[in-house]
């Protein structure tokens, strides 16, 4: 590791040598998705700085695990070449507790809080301090087929949803329910949404007390997951589904429901509208003039009980300043620019990620790009967040290992098992699978 950080340091020094000595360079590291937009924002904010600093954009890997690994390794190794980093919303507690990112200075924090949606703010907060500035967010909706649900009305609850799907299976019509059920972060997100919608929580706000087994919320969440997994006419590949394959399964015409992020809406149009449908709503190879896209609609994420909206787990990225940065003052200034109204709008319109500034949702440009903006906004206002804990990654790994496949869940005995596994993870004891 010493050798590794020495290498990194050397290359940073070499990179520094190449620069104009008067020029102050801020290195911005973001995920590879949406990199074009982040790079454009870097150019705009460099211009806005009037020559005081230059923001240079760099790409991190596409996979969240690889991004986290690179950032953590470089910061632990004392790499001074990182000035602004894009953090996945689940990493805040970990990076803050480990001393890898600086808390926002008070006046910056005040300005960031002003006008930012509550849910995204929560994902950037650890022990009442703001460690990052919410750049964009993400939330899931229920996507459904109008031609398959009774009266074209989407279900409000999971109970109703499963009943509709099973009825469709009896009629030999498309009956798959698409969720993210593969053994990865996605199934943890699904579980967390169900759990918080039922009034439960994986860990308490301190990030240490495991509250998974309090009340019956966990058992109810597990019941729904097991029922979706074992439903009559369920997708046989359910336990392999992630966001991308769930979306494709729906486009193939065999699914009636999917819970997924807003990208599926522009996606289905890009893919030519999905499969052709026959009179029964089943996919067919012949050109009937009617495609999945024509029946494709969205609704709020189903809740656990009638009249109580779901608290959907939110995703997204926040911007933070590593403790190793040599120019924190300029970096914080640049962060405010990088997440300003123009840049968030550009990210939304060009890269499809929902912004974190509340007022943008009233902007016609955004509304046009996001036909589902109202559902997204209300979903964000009811947002559920994933457990804020420095050990979040371990929690997620053990949960996803035990929850997948959903058809194997035993709601009666699994709550206890999950609770003890999460407790080990929180205390960083034992192994992760």
Partner 1 sequence: MTTLAPAPPPAPPPTGKRTLTAEKKAERKLAFLLCAPAVLVMVAVTAYPIGYAVWLSLQRYDLRFPNDREFVGLDNYTAVLTDNYWWTALAVTVALTVISVAIELVLGFALALLMHRTIVARNTVRTVLLIPYGIVTVAGAFSWYYAWTPGTGYLANLLPEGEAPLTEQIPALGIVILAEVWKTTPFMALLLLAGLALVPDDLLRAAQVDGAGAWTRLVRVIIPMMKPAILVALLFRTLDAFRIFDNIYVLTRGNNDTGSVSILGYDNLFKAFNLGIGSAISVLIFLCVALIAFLFVKGFGTAAPGTDSEAKR
Query: Site residues (CB under 8 A) for partner 1?
Result: 1, 65, 69, 72, 76, 94, 97-99, 182-184, 236-237, 239-240, 245, 248-249, 252, 390-391, 393-394, 397, 401, 404-405, 428-433
How open is the CA angle 141-144-146, to the nearest 5 degrees?
Answer: 135
CA distance 242 to 167: 25
Looking only at the bridges linking them, the beta strands covering 255-260 and 176-178 are parallel
Q: Structure tokens of 366?
A: 């955004």
**CB nearer to partner 1: pick between 207 and 354:** 207
**CB nearer to partner 1: pick between 254 and 377:** 254
Minimum distance, C-beta of residue 87 to partner 1, in the bound complex (Å) = 14
Minimum distance, C-beta of residue 140 to partner 1, in the bound complex (Å) = 22
**CB nearer to partner 1: pick between 54 and 234:** 234
Looking only at the bridges linking them, the beta strands covering 141-145 and 176-178 are unpaired
Minimum distance, C-beta of residue 76 to partner 1, in the bound complex (Å) = 6
Minimum distance, C-beta of residue 28 to partner 1, in the bound complex (Å) = 23
**CB nearer to partner 1: pick between 183 and 356:** 183
**CB nearer to partner 1: pick between 93 and 304:** 93
Q: Structure tokens of 225?
A: 């997951």
CA distance 300 to 307: 12
- Region of 222 on the Ramachandran plot (φ > 0 left; ψ -120 to 50 alpha; else beta): alpha
Contacts of 115 (CB under 8 A, 6+ apart): 357, 358, 359
Minimum distance, C-beta of residue 346 to partner 1, in the bound complex (Å) = 33
Minimum distance, C-beta of residue 201 to partner 1, in the bound complex (Å) = 21
Minimum distance, C-beta of residue 158 to partner 1, in the bound complex (Å) = 23
**CB nearer to partner 1: pick between 66 and 412:** 66
Q: Which residue has the tokens 């706000």?
A: 205
**CB nearer to partner 1: pick between 332 and 392:** 392
Minimum distance, C-beta of residue 1 to partner 1, in the bound complex (Å) = 8
CA gyration radius for the chain? 23
CA distance 313 to 89: 11
**CB nearer to partner 1: pick between 45 and 234:** 234
């Amino acid at each position: 590791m010493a050798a590794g950080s020495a290498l990194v340091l050397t290359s940073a020094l070499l990179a520094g040598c190449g620069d104009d000595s008067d020029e102050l360079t801020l290195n911005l590291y973001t995920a590879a998705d949406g990199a074009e937009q982040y790079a454009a924002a870097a150019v705009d904010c460099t211009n806005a700085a009037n020559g005081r600093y230059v923001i240079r954009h760099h790409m991190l890997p596409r996979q969240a695990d690889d991004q986290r690994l690179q950032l953590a390794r470089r910061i632990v190794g004392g790499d001074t070449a990182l000035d602004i980093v894009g953090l996945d919303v689940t990493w805040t507690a970990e990076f803050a507790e480990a001393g890898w990112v600086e808390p926002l200075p008070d006046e910056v924090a005040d300005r960031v809080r002003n006008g930012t949606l509550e849910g995204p703010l929560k994902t950037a907060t650890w022990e009442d301090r703001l460690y990052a500035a919410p750049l964009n967010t993400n939330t899931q909706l229920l996507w459904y087929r109008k031609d398959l649900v009774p009266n074209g009305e989407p279900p409000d609850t999971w109970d109703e949803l499963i009943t509709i799907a099973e009825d469709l299976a009896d009629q030999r019509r498309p009956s798959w329910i698409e969720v993210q059920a593969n053994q990865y972060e996605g199934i943890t997100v699904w579980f967390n949404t169900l759990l918080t919608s039922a009034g439960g929580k994986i860990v308490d706000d301190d990030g240490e007390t495991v509250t998974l087994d309090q009340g019956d919320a966990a058992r109810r969440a597990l019941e729904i997951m097991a029922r979706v997994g074992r439903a009559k006419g369920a997708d046989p590949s359910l336990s392999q589904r992630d966001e991308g394959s769930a979306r494709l399964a729906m486009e193939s015409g065999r699914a009636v429901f999917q819970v997924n992020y807003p990208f599926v809406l522009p996606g289905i149009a890009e893919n030519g509208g999905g499969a052709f449908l026959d009179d029964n709503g089943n996919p067919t190879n012949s050109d009937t003039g009617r495609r999945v896209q024509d029946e494709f609609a969205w609704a709020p994420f189903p809740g656990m009980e009638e009249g109580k909206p779901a608290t959907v787990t939110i995703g997204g990225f926040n911007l933070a300043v590593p403790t190793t940065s040599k120019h924190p003052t300029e970096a914080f200034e640049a962060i405010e620019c990088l997440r300003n109204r123009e840049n968030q709008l550009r990210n939304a319109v060009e890269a499809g990620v929902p912004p974190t500034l509340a007022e943008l949702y009233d902007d016609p440009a955004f509304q046009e790009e996001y036909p589902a903006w109202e559902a997204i906004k209300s979903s964000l206002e009811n947002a559920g967040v994933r457990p804020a804990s420095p050990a979040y990654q371990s929690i997620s790994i053990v949960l996803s290992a035990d929850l997948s496949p959903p058809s194997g869940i035993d709601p009666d005995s699994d709550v206890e098992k999950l609770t003890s596994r999460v407790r080990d993870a929180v205390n960083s004891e034992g192994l992760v699978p």
